[in-house]
Amino acid sequence: MGLAVNRHLKTASNQVIHAGELLLSPSPANLDQCAVILQSAIKEMEAFRPDADGSGVDGQELEQAQRLKTALTDTRRLLDHAARFHQNWLRRRGVISGGYTQDGNPAAVDGIRRLMVKG
């Protein structure tokens, strides 16, 4: 492989780690930034594929690949938790706003698109 692959792996790892750090303090801005960072990490991973010729892999590359794998696993877990939180919040909002359906499930509620407050 080579220095280019190692550089791409390291950059992708750093980006995924940074995205995971943003997910620890979720906010709309952090979630938006996280999506941009993860897209950039995907581009880094795609960029090193042509450089990966199947020849020998050295210890640094293996270390970076393992670091990337760990970062991806950790970030995936955080994203899974965020998705579950969001789904549960939508269910509760449905119950509070629309009650239950005849079969006992929370009622579907249209999302608020615009809110105006006059004082």
- Domain-embedded: residue 37: yes
At residue 90, the 3 state secondary structure works out as: helix
Which CATH number do you get for residue 62? 1.20.58
Residue bearing tokens 């239950």:
100
Is residue 112 domain-resident? no
Q: Quote the CA–CA distance of 28 and 69 in Å, as a whole number.
A: 26
In this prediction, residues 99-103 reach a mean pLDDT of: 83
Residue 54's Cβ-count burial label (10 Å; 0-12, 13-18, 19+) is exposed
User: Is 113 among the domain residues?
Assistant: no
| Residue 110 domain flag | no
Model pLDDT for residues 33-75, shown as the tens digit of each residue = 999 999 999 999 888 765 555 566 678 888 888 999 999 999 9
Q: Which domain holds residue 23?
A: 3-97
Measured CA to CA, the distance from residue 69 to residue 13 in angstroms comes to 8
Contact 82, 20 (CB under 8 A): no
- Is residue 78 in a domain? yes
Q: Is 2 left (phi over 0), alpha (psi -120 to 50) or beta?
A: left
Question: Which comes out higher in pLDDT, residue 74 or 115?
Answer: 74
Q: Is residue 107 part of a domain?
A: no
Residue 9 within a domain: yes
Count of domains observed in the chain = 1
Q: Is residue 104 part of a domain?
A: no
Asked if residue 23 has pLDDT above 80, the reply is yes
d(CA 86, CA 94): 12
